[in-house]
Structure 1
């Protein structure tokens, strides 16, 4: 299909949302690095069961993904040469993906995300020790790199602050969580002289998320088995430490911890984190007042669980493992946060990242 045809199709998909013909639907996207494709599933919100929709070849080692703020675009980073980002249109009627274009990335990127406006794509390079910004065109297609910012060793994640005035980035090799001023008018980043938060040596800060009410940040380490709770001052975009907890299971016997991913339920009541050495998901109750975490359970999951995610309703959690050929689907108990396995579903090789999108039904108004 030509670029013109795909763009027309994407516009039609977007128009369907307001035409009264769309139905409420939830879709999950799994990037499979070794089979170089993306698995697409539809999620039944009433039962949590999944149905395979399609498998989309991408011709490269696909790993980090991000949805646009309006959920009509999916961006997938390729970590094999030529390093690039693939922009897809998401069809809200059936979840299928249509490739709209490809653009260079500055390096092999471990993480991609967009700013709050959807006009810029941020990325962090573990091997290149840098952060980068790509412009996103009005049609939602990512363009060329417009800025790179050198960091310490092994930059791992980058996300905008809720107010979009700053961007934060974790740098695993220098045990630092950086703050960069973000100019949304031109997409430029300016790094602060000092990190927003410095961690103990050999912590290895990796992924982080903001709480739904934007009062806290949860930052997981890769190297020491720890998870940090930081109080977030939204007025000044600063943090202060509140608590540090272990993500390791009580009977951990591995040679070294290997933290991976962290997510919070949409209501902010429960937090989940993955640890790859033990192949486990740790579950915590979140204090609404202090943001502090109380461990409530540990669950075995897919082997080497690098990525997982929670659906927008907060009812289901999906997890994949890089050394597993399946994705596990769990029901989240709304009162306790406990996980109940619903089923397992085949995915590609080297599954490592999950994005989930929900489209609400239209009443034609």
Structure 2
């Protein structure tokens, strides 16, 4: 990995961003926009230095400005000194960005890594702080603990979750805890697949795919797509150690491959997306004990669908009235209406207009939904009707090599 964080490539990354930072305010001034906040979109994905067999066409972390009226994206910079940043996240104050590198050669142990960046909140310019081991091979997801003291990482191939301390300057320390999950071998496919689904998920061992807290911040939760389990811990904020909850894990349907989850605003309903059978498990979540129980299992594809599909991402609207899911292979976006009891009704199935949609994210206003389409090397966007949940394609395609992840921010006004 060290050769990919060379001084030369780091200089190239800074040069690209330095040029953008120098020229963009001039364009803004000419357009009469100085003193106004901009909406920036950071896009990461797979680069030539990627996971085995998963090399991509990306160059690093691309930075775009979003037109607030149309939703179109205009590229202003690319940070190139990073390998396969397939998942990124911003701190709440927008001062720091954290990006994992989905690789297995950062060190002699065969780990991936996480890179910390300082963010200029006026321009979006990135300045690299440091990079540390992710605590396992091929990390797939990271999130910031609500305390702001720790970064939580899911290492997919490493079969581990790790806790990285965040220093006062935003840089990262070495892991305070690395937990390896174990359990019985699960089938490669669930028995409730859509008809004709030949896609399989890797169940050869533990494969944590997401780690984040519940809305209260009391519990740390991880979806393990290899063991078909949802793990629950608390986090000791002094030691940075994960402590298993009274019920340490919840068994999902064998072969279903739980991938990503979201909560409703109450923190008592958890929507857990299963990759392999393209289903959402609607669960009751006890914010006092961390216990989970399923109350509904609903398909992310309509009843007429037949063929191979793998669900990828799940979002809930800001008003909590709609849930959205991306389906790879089937290339569709599922729109669900949320009932009073939290259960879901499939409302619409929308063509993604591209291939292999992975991450989805709303812009800060919630007026647009963006989809990263890995195999099409493009980002597509949809206008959101907040009242009805309806998605309308904007007809905007943004070229990005092998995109897989987003982060949005509103900048501080420049005066």
**Do structure 1's residue 95 and structure 2's residue 124 form an aligned pair?**
yes
Q: CA deviation at 1:129?
A: 0.8
Partner of 1:66: 89
8 A Cα contact 1:270 1:283, kept in partner: yes
Larger strand percent: 1
**Which stretch of the first structure deviates more once superposed, 226-235 or 263-272?**
226-235
Aligned pairs for 1:228-243 (under 5 A) are: 228-243=281-296
Matches of 1:308 and 1:142, distance apart in 2: 27
Q: CA deviation at 1:22?
A: 6.0
Partner of 2:66: 43
Partner of 1:129: 159
8 A Cα contact 2:154 2:208, kept in partner: yes
Q: CA deviation at 1:196?
A: 4.0
Partner of 1:358: 410
8 A Cα contact 2:39 2:65, kept in partner: yes
Q: CA deviation at 1:133?
A: 0.7
Matches of 2:360 and 2:226, distance apart in 1: 23
Matches of 2:266 and 2:75, distance apart in 1: 34
Matches of 2:222 and 2:351, distance apart in 1: 29
Q: TM-score, normalised by structure 2?
A: 0.78
8 A Cα contact 2:134 2:155, kept in partner: no
Pick the aligned partner of 1:277 from 316, 329, 338.
329
Aligned pairs for 1:1-365 (under 5 A) are: 23-33=36-46, 34=56, 35-80=58-103, 81-82=105-106, 83-107=112-136, 108-152=138-182, 153-192=206-245, 194-255=247-308, 257-287=309-339, 289-301=340-352, 302-359=354-411
Partner of 1:10: none
Matches of 2:76 and 2:121, distance apart in 1: 13
Structure-2 change in CA distance of 1:109 and 1:22 (3 Å): farther
Matches of 2:39 and 2:283, distance apart in 1: 31
Question: What's the RMSD between the two structures over aligned residues?
Answer: 2.4
Runs of at least 5 residues in structure 1 that lack an aligned partner in the other structure: 7-12, 14-20
8 A Cα contact 2:247 2:291, kept in partner: no
Q: TM-score, normalised by structure 1?
A: 0.88
Structure-2 change in CA distance of 1:359 and 1:211 (3 Å): farther
Matches of 1:232 and 1:43, distance apart in 2: 36
Q: CA deviation at 1:36?
A: 4.1
Deviation per CA, 1:213-239: give whole Å up to 9, x if none. 323211100111110111223233333
Q: CA deviation at 1:195?
A: 4.2
Q: CA deviation at 1:193?
A: 6.5
8 A Cα contact 2:44 2:406, kept in partner: yes
**Which stretch of the first structure deviates more once superposed, 112-121 or 213-222?**
213-222
Q: CA deviation at 1:183?
A: 1.2
Runs of at least 5 residues in structure 2 that lack an aligned partner in the other structure: 1-6, 15-20, 22-33, 47-55, 107-111, 183-205
Q: How many residues align?
A: 346
Q: CA deviation at 1:138?
A: 0.6
8 A Cα contact 1:326 1:344, kept in partner: no
SS of 2:174's equivalent in the other structure is strand
8 A Cα contact 2:176 2:239, kept in partner: no
8 A Cα contact 1:176 1:198, kept in partner: yes
Matches of 1:22 and 1:148, distance apart in 2: 45
Partner of 2:196: none
